[in-house]
Amino acid sequence: MSELTELHREGSGTPIVLLHGLNGSWRIWRPVFPLLSKNHEVIALTMAGHRGGTAIPAGPVSIGALADDMEARLDAAGIKRAHLVGNSLGGWLSLELAQRGRGLSVVAFAPAGCWTKPRDLARVGRLLRLARSSNRPFVHRLTKRPGVRKAMFRQAMDRADLIPMEDMTAMFEDLAECTILDGLLQNLATTGSLASMTIPDDCPVRLVWPMKDRTIPWERYGVPYTKLLPKVDLVRLTGAGHVPIYDNPELVARTVLEFTDKAEAGAAA
């Protein structure tokens, strides 16, 4: 296994914090680093319970516990407030951090945390456990073929064939060392879908939902967010799946930067 630092940091300017999804690490954001770091200091961190992140005890895991750990990590990195960008579980975490006053703005790509019926949570749990079971040597060999990668990871990405094999290997490494899946699902089964969310007025929020999200489709998992955040800036991302970063890094970066620019202009005014 390759070594993994606890965070990645590059560029200069107002900080952007990048938060990955479940089973991943900060490395999932690598395609957008050069695009975002032209305007900002980019800090990508790995969540607790993931490879390179803080170890977390076995048992139920809440978003609050993940946010507590991330706040401590941000403090250690000297970051009081930043533009928060997250995908899936990282999107939910970015919104939780914003509630705590840590956000200059939020861009949440298909954030987890909302669903309409218990069977919706059960469905996601099955998909995540299936992903974990795919971490086997023969699957690794199959994914050396771009067409196989595209078909195999269709649930999460639209163009997995665009992922370099080195990055694919890193994803399998991250998947192997994610320890919080069962604990997180345990907690969600008890707490249920998000019922409320209060973001400070000085932290604008953009909700981005990929048109080809087959993991948590918009109608079942995204619409409830618009009820929690009625003033949210909503974008439907074309040509991208649940994890859109490799599908179209230029579009992902542009979607972030146009919103951070707008937030900074509004704060200056």
| Domains of the chain by residue range | 7-268
pLDDT at 6: 81
**4-16 per-position pLDDT tens digit:** 778 899 999 999 9
**165-201 per-position pLDDT tens digit:** 889 888 888 888 899 999 999 999 999 999 999 999 9
Q: Which residue has the higher pLDDT, 161 or 133?
A: 161
Residue 133 backbone phi and psi in degrees, to 5:
-70, -15
**106-159 per-position pLDDT tens digit:** 999 999 999 988 899 999 989 888 888 777 787 778 888 889 888 888 889 999
Q: Which residue has the higher pLDDT, 268 or 117?
A: 117
**200-238 per-position pLDDT tens digit:** 999 999 999 999 999 999 999 999 999 999 889 999 999
At the fourth CATH level, the homologous superfamily of domain 7-268 is: Alpha/Beta hydrolase fold, catalytic domain (3.40.50.1820)
Mean pLDDT, rounded, for 235-256: 97
pLDDT at 3: 57
Q: Does the pLDDT at position 61 exceed 60? A: yes
**83-108 per-position pLDDT tens digit:** 999 999 999 999 999 999 999 999 99
pLDDT at 76: 94
| Token pair belonging to 225 | 């967010």
Please tell me the total number of residues recorded for the chain in this structure.
Answer: 269
pLDDT at 4: 75
CB contact burial 107-125 (16+ within 10 A = b; e otherwise): bbbbbbbbbeeeebbebbb
pLDDT at 1: 41
Q: Which residue, chain included where needed, has tokens 């023969």?
A: 138
